[in-house]
Copies of this chain bind each other. A is one copy, B any other.
C-alpha cells in the first residue's frame, strides 16, 4: 500500500449534490446554486444547508423563514453555474433563466423547469462563524409524473441531477446503477480474523 498523505483541513465530501436554493428578496425571488445541503432527519423530515452570511439569499431566508430547494437536471448546468457567477447583491435577476413556481408556502420560490423541488420551512438557524446553518422542515416535494418510476418514486435516470466536486470544481452526471441499498450487502461475508 502506498504512502498516506494529509492534504490538510480543506477536505470535501465526494460528490456533493447541486441544488438551486430559492428565497424571496425584497425586490424579487432569487435562486442560488448550493451544494452544501443534505437531509439530516427522517421524521419530521428535515434538511440542513450551510450558506455564507454575505449572500442575499441568507437575508431572504431569515426574513421569511422559508425557502425552496430545486434540483436542476444536466441540461440546466450552464444556467445553474451562471447563477453562481452573478450576484443578487449587485442587482442580477436570477429568475431570468427560469419559470418561478410556488406551492403551499408564501415564500419558497421554486423552479418549474427543475424535475423536483422541495418547499422548506426554517426551524433552527445556527451561526457557525462565516456561515449560517439553516435547519428546515420539508413540507412538500413537487415533481411531475414523467419523473417517477413505476413505484411512484422519483427516478434519478429521468431527473438527471448532477453533482459537484471540490476543490477541483467540476460538475458530473450520475452514472451507472450499482445495486439496491440495504440489500446488496446481504450476502457479503467479512473476512474472519484468525485467533492467534
Contacts and interface: CB of A to CB of B under 8 A. Distances in A.
Nearest to A96: B190
Contacts of A40: 36, 48-50, 128, 131, 133
The secondary structure that dominates the A interface is mixed
B9 A140 contact: yes
List the number of copies, as a whole number. Answer: 2
Interface string A171-188: 111111111111111111
A9 B139 contact: yes
B133 A15 contact: no
A161 to B, nearest CB: 4
Nearest to A110: B4
B137 A128 contact: no
Interface string A1-16: 1111111111111111
Interface residues of A, number: 114
Interface in A16-53: 16-17, 19, 35-50, 52
- Nearest 5 A-B pairs (CB), nearest first? A40-B50, A81-B185, A11-B141, A175-B175, A82-B185
A94 B100 CA distance: 47
A196 interface: no
Given A141-B7, A156-B165, A185-B81, A178 B74 contact: yes
Interface in A81-133: 81-85, 93, 96-97, 101, 103-104, 112, 116, 118, 124, 126, 128-131, 133
Contacts of A145: 2-3, 5
